[in-house]
Amino acid sequence: MTIGEHRDGSALTLAPEGRLDTITSPELEKVLKESLDGVSELTLDFGKLDYISSAGLRVLLAAQKTMNRQGSMKIVHVCETIMEIFEVTGFLDILTIE
């Protein structure tokens, strides 16, 4: 999968494109692991993300936990279908979505 990356000081924006499923989630997980050091403001841009499964949710949960310790995390441009998944799984309550 393609993951757009933009860094501005301690603010990091990641924009995964396409599907975040069992196969592709490890890629995002790897990027997060490598780049979260010193980041206090993480933005995930889901504008080009069409699909997410529990594997993707797992990565989001891990990222949220990390960022709770070192700053803040928000998700932007979430499409309707993914929003529904967040809702069904209760992730709406633990994620900051704009």
Q: What is the dihedral of CA 35, 41, 47, 52, to 10 degrees?
A: 60
Among 21, 27, 29, 41, binds another protein (CB under 8 A): 21
Closer residue to another protein (CB): 7 or 33: 33
List the interface residues with another protein, window 77-96 (CB under 8 A): 80-81, 84-85, 88-90, 93-94
**What number of other Cβ atoms are within 10 A of residue 83's Cβ?**
15
Task: Look at residues 56, 16, 64, 14 and name the one whose alpha carbon lies nearest to residue 35.
Answer: 14
Contacting residues toward another protein, per CB under 8 A = 21-23, 50-51, 53-55, 57-58, 61, 64-65, 68, 80-81, 84-85, 88-90, 93-94
